Amino acid sequence: MPASPIRYNEPVETTQQQQPAGAWMSFRELTHEVRRGAVAEWTVTIILLLFATTTLVQAFVIPSASMEDSLLIGDHVLVDKLAYAPAGPIGKTLLPYRDVKRGDIIVFRYPLDISQDYVKRAIGTPGDHIRFEGGNLILNGKPVQEPYTKHLAPYPDMYRDNFPAFSNAPLRPRAQEMLEKCVVNGELVVPTGFIFAMGDNRDDSDDSRYWGMVPRENIVGTPVVIYWSYEASTEALTNGNIGFGHIIDVITHFFTKTRWDRTFRLTRAYPLGE
């Protein structure tokens, strides 16, 4: 019996060949919609995160000992950038804008190099009269207790401890100008638009005594919480490129060098002269 010829163009054959193509097209359309939706959602999420981290809150790390014991080297803090933002006609009634107060911990652009961020405590606001006697703050004519400060230097320093007393050591030009223009009857008078800021570790702090006052527009915000604290050196934290050694150190000693008792600790202002 002769073999049946192969019918390549038979309708059944055509239908069987087209079914996979049709299923593939449906799958592509479905996954295309899913991918497009996922990409859109992630794009919006990333935009919101970038907006939040650049406009509302920003993470900073403390690289020096100038604010000990309030803030330690290796404290990673979240800074509220909205607190001191200038309030508009509508925003001032809806958002917690306020001006800098004495005793606030502030993050600001270093006046001598605005690419650097510094953290200090606001000691004097516009109109305040400031002087020190033996390391003790005299604010507007009255002695003020500062329980957060440290004085560890084994030797006295006339300028440091009795600011704005005359300094035998050369000062930076901004500090020299501050002394020449803003000292009245032995007291520094804080002018409009500036903040006098100091570190809590008074004997180991490069602050307004040495480089002048902080322009109000330089202030970025105030730290609100320590979200992680890790024992690290100033050198490791100020390295522009994260060193391989520091990464290995974190991986190896994460649990032993993390200061767990400081995790999620709130940072607080201390009212001065109120």
pLDDT attached to residue 188: 98
Residue 227 burial (10 A CB sphere; 0-12, 13-18, 19+): middle
Q: What angle do CA 206, 211, 212 make, to 5 degrees?
A: 120
pLDDT attached to residue 189: 98
Give the active site residues.
66, 120
Element (H, E) at 24: helix 11-51
pLDDT attached to residue 263: 94
| Domain 62-266: CATH superfamily, name plus number | Umud Fragment, subunit A (2.10.109.10)
Residues 214/125, Cβ–Cβ less than 8 Å: no
- How far is the C-alpha of 219 from the C-alpha of 81, rounded, in Å? 9
CA contacts within 13 A on the Cβ side of 116: 12
Domain range summary for the chain, segments of one domain joined by +: 12-55, 62-266
pLDDT attached to residue 269: 94
Amino acid making up residue 222 = T
Per-10-residue mean pLDDT, the chain, length 274: 41 44 54 45 48 71 95 96 71 67 97 96 98 96 96 93 87 95 97 98 96 96 95 82 77 94 94 81
